[in-house]
Amino acid sequence: MTFLNVTEIESALIGLNNAYPRLTQLLPLPNPTHEGRRSHALLIRGNPSFRCRPALVFVSGVHAREWGGPDILVNLAADLLEAYTANAGLAYGAKTFSAADVRGIVNRTDVVVFPDINPDGRAYSMGGTAGSNQAMWRKNRNPASGGGSTGRAGVDVNRNYDFLWDFQTKFSPSANPGTLASADPGSDIFHGTGPFSEPEARNVQWLVDRFPKARYFVDVHSYSGDVLYPWGDDENQSTDPSKSFMNTAWDGKRGVSGDAYGEYIPAARLPEVTAAAAVLRDGINAVRNQGYVSKQGFWLWSTTYPTSGTSEDWAFTREFLNPRKGKLGGFCIEFNRNQNFFPSWAEMKDMILDVDAGLVNLCEYATPSWVQVILCWKLAWWHRIADRFLTFWRRLFPPEIWGPYGPWTRIVRRLERILERFSTRRGG
Ligand SMILES: [Zn+2]
C-alpha cells in the first residue's frame, strides 16, 4: 500500500457508496477543476428519519503536497461504515470507541467527507518523486494569472475563501507577509483574482452551504502536530464586538499582535471552540501519545501566523453573518509531528490512526444525547399534531370567508353589507 492517487480516491468513494447504499450518499461537487476533474464527497447518514442531526464536514487535500490528508478521510469513512454494519466498535491504537458510540454517530449525525479538494494539484504533485520540486507543489493548477509561465501557475486555494480576502486593504502593511497571502502569482500563497475565484474553494462553499445544520468543519493539512481554531487573522479578544472582520473601520490594522486590534469572539463562544479543538487533540493523543497541541490559528508557529482567506476562518464567519443557521466552528488539523510532507507509508498508517481517532472523537462529542433525541421526536410530534389541526380548521373555515376577527361567516356578511352601503352612498 501507499498513498491513494486521485483516481483511487474517487473510486474509493464510489466503492463505499456501492457497498453501503443505504448508509451513504455520493455528492458530486458542482465545479470542475481547471483540468476538468470532477470530485465527489460522501455523506454518511444512517436512520434518515431523525431530523435533528448536526453535520460534521471534513475536507482535505487542498494543498497538493500534503499527501496523507485524503487517505485519512477515506479511511475514516470506511471505518465508520464497516464498524456500523458489523455492529462493532473501533480501536485506534489505545483509543477505542464502543459499538454504541459508532451507532450513535451514524444514526444521529451527518458525517460528510470531501477528501480531495484539489485533484489537479495532487495529480501533479504525485507525478514527482517525494521531496522533488514537482512533489512540493502546493497550489491548484489554474494558469490564468501566470502569464504563460508554468512556474507562476496556480492559486493557493486556502487563501481564496471569502474571509478578509483582500489582504492588502484589510491587514496592516506590517503583518507577516510570509504567511498572510500574496498577490504575486509566483508565490506559494497567491490568493487568486477574487474571493472564491477558484472552483476548488467554491466546491467547499457549496458543500458547507448544503448543510445548514453543520456544526463542525475540519480541514486536514500537514504538517506540525497542531489542532487550530479561529481566528487566523489576529489575536482573539472578547471585549469589543466592533473589532470584527465585518467592520471596515479597522481595515489596514489587522494581523499584528500586541496592538489595538484583536478579532472579536464572543466570551461564551470561545470556550466552546477551544473545547471542540481539545476533543480533536485528545482523541489524536490517546492513540499513541503524539503530543498534539491545540491553539489559535494566529499562533501556528512560534511567531504570529496571520492568514487571510482560509477555510477554517471562512467557515466560522457563517454564525456571525447568518446567525439563523446556528453555530459552525471551523478547525484545521496539521498532522505529522515529524514535519515532513512525505512520510513513509509505515509512518503514514500510524498517522491515519491518530487523526481518525481525533475525528471520530469529535463525531462522538457532536452526537445528540438521548434527551436531545427525545426532545426532537416530541417536537416533531407536536408539529404533526399542530399541522393536522390547522388543516382540519382551514377545511372547516376556508381562509376566503375569514373576516378581521377570525373565520366567522356572520362577520364577513356584515362587512359585505357595510361595503355595499359605502358603495351605494358613493354612487348616490
Ligand atoms: Zn496545508
Task: Please tell me the distance between residue 334's alpha carbon and the centre of ligand 1 in angstroms.
Answer: 7
Q: Which residue has the higher pLDDT, 412 or 344?
A: 344
Q: Say how far apart CA 245 and CA 198 lie, in whole Å.
A: 22
Q: Which three cell numbers stand for residue 292?
A: 498534539
CA atoms within 13 A on the CB side of 201: 27
Determine contact, residues 215/272, Cβ cutoff 8 Å: no
Task: Please tell me the distance between residue 12's alpha carbon and the centre of ligand 1 in angstroms.
Answer: 23
Does 385 reside within a domain? no
Same domain flag for 250 and 180: yes
pLDDT of amino acid 396: 79
pLDDT of amino acid 118: 98
Same domain flag for 427 and 343: no
Q: Does residue 237 come out as left (phi exceeding 0), alpha (psi in the -120 to 50 range) or beta?
A: beta
Same domain flag for 72 and 214: yes
Domain that holds residue 426: 399-428
At residue 161, does pLDDT exceed 80?
yes
Task: Please tell me the distance between residue 139's alpha carbon and the centre of ligand 1 in angstroms.
Answer: 10
Same domain flag for 344 and 411: no
Task: Please tell me the distance between residue 392's alpha carbon and the centre of ligand 1 in angstroms.
Answer: 57
Task: Please tell me the distance between residue 270's alpha carbon and the centre of ligand 1 in angstroms.
Answer: 24
Does 57 reside within a domain? yes
Q: How many domains does the chain have?
A: 2
Same domain flag for 275 and 133: yes
Q: What is the mean pLDDT of residues 29-37?
A: 98
Neighbours of ion ligand 1 (CB under 5 A): 63, 66, 221
CA atoms within 13 A on the CB side of 256: 14
Task: Please tell me the distance between residue 169's alpha carbon and the centre of ligand 1 in angstroms.
Answer: 24
Task: Please tell me the distance between residue 410's alpha carbon and the centre of ligand 1 in angstroms.
Answer: 71
Same domain flag for 323 and 208: yes
pLDDT of amino acid 383: 82
Does 393 reside within a domain? no
Task: Please tell me the distance between residue 362's alpha carbon and the centre of ligand 1 in angstroms.
Answer: 21
Same domain flag for 420 and 296: no
Does 286 reside within a domain? yes
Task: Please tell me the distance between residue 125's alpha carbon and the centre of ligand 1 in angstroms.
Answer: 14
Instruction: Give the torsion sign (CA, 296, 298, 300, 303).
Output: negative
ipTM of the complex: 0.98
Determine contact, residues 57/214, Cβ cutoff 8 Å: yes
At residue 219, does pLDDT exceed 80?
yes
At residue 117, does pLDDT exceed 50?
yes
Task: Please tell me the distance between residue 137's alpha carbon and the centre of ligand 1 in angstroms.
Answer: 11
Same domain flag for 218 and 172: yes
Task: Please tell me the distance between residue 66's alpha carbon and the centre of ligand 1 in angstroms.
Answer: 6
Determine contact, residues 156/191, Cβ cutoff 8 Å: yes
Does 171 reside within a domain? yes
Task: Please tell me the distance between residue 227's alpha carbon and the centre of ligand 1 in angstroms.
Answer: 13
Q: Say how far apart CA 315 and CA 62 lie, in whole Å.
A: 15
Task: Please tell me the distance between residue 64's alpha carbon and the centre of ligand 1 in angstroms.
Answer: 8
Does 394 reside within a domain? no
Task: Please tell me the distance between residue 343's alpha carbon and the centre of ligand 1 in angstroms.
Answer: 15
Task: Please tell me the distance between residue 310's alpha carbon and the centre of ligand 1 in angstroms.
Answer: 10
CA atoms within 13 A on the CB side of 261: 22
Task: Please tell me the distance between residue 366's alpha carbon and the centre of ligand 1 in angstroms.
Answer: 25
Same domain flag for 299 and 167: yes
pLDDT single digits (tens) 313-326: 999 999 999 999 89
pLDDT of amino acid 413: 47
Same domain flag for 284 and 416: no
- Judge residue 8's burial from the number of C-beta atoms within 10 Å of its C-beta, 0-12 exposed, 13-18 middle, 19 or more buried: middle
Task: Please tell me the distance between residue 49's alpha carbon and the centre of ligand 1 in angstroms.
Answer: 37
Same domain flag for 69 and 127: yes
Q: How many CB atoms lie within 10 A of CB 388?
A: 10
User: Which among 195, 180, 184, 206 is positioned nearest to 117, based on CA atoms?
Assistant: 206
Question: For position 113, which CATH number holds?
Answer: 3.40.630.10
Same domain flag for 68 and 161: yes
Task: Please tell me the distance between residue 62's alpha carbon and the centre of ligand 1 in angstroms.
Answer: 7
Task: Please tell me the distance between residue 63's alpha carbon and the centre of ligand 1 in angstroms.
Answer: 5
Q: What is the mean pLDDT of residues 54-67?
A: 98
Does 234 reside within a domain? yes
Task: Please tell me the distance between residue 376's alpha carbon and the centre of ligand 1 in angstroms.
Answer: 38
pLDDT single digits (tens) 269-298: 999 999 999 999 999 999 999 999 999 999
Q: Say how far apart CA 117 and CA 208 lie, in whole Å.
A: 13
**Four-CA torsion 269, 270, 275, 277, nearest 10 degrees:** 110
Task: Please tell me the distance between residue 20's alpha carbon and the centre of ligand 1 in angstroms.
Answer: 31
**Angle at alpha carbon of residue 284, lines to 301 and 341, rounded to 5°:** 50
Q: What is the mean pLDDT of residues 170-189?
A: 96
Task: Please tell me the distance between residue 325's alpha carbon and the centre of ligand 1 in angstroms.
Answer: 28
User: Which among 197, 217, 162 is positioned nearest to 41, based on CA atoms?
Assistant: 217
pLDDT single digits (tens) 389-402: 888 887 877 766 66
Q: What is the mean pLDDT of residues 14-29?
A: 98
Task: Please tell me the distance between residue 92's alpha carbon and the centre of ligand 1 in angstroms.
Answer: 24
Q: What is the mean pLDDT of residues 124-149?
A: 95
Task: Please tell me the distance between residue 206's alpha carbon and the centre of ligand 1 in angstroms.
Answer: 20
Does 200 reside within a domain? yes
Task: Please tell me the distance between residue 157's alpha carbon and the centre of ligand 1 in angstroms.
Answer: 10
Task: Please tell me the distance between residue 222's alpha carbon and the centre of ligand 1 in angstroms.
Answer: 6
AA identity, residue 165: W
Q: What is the mean pLDDT of residues 48-53?
A: 89
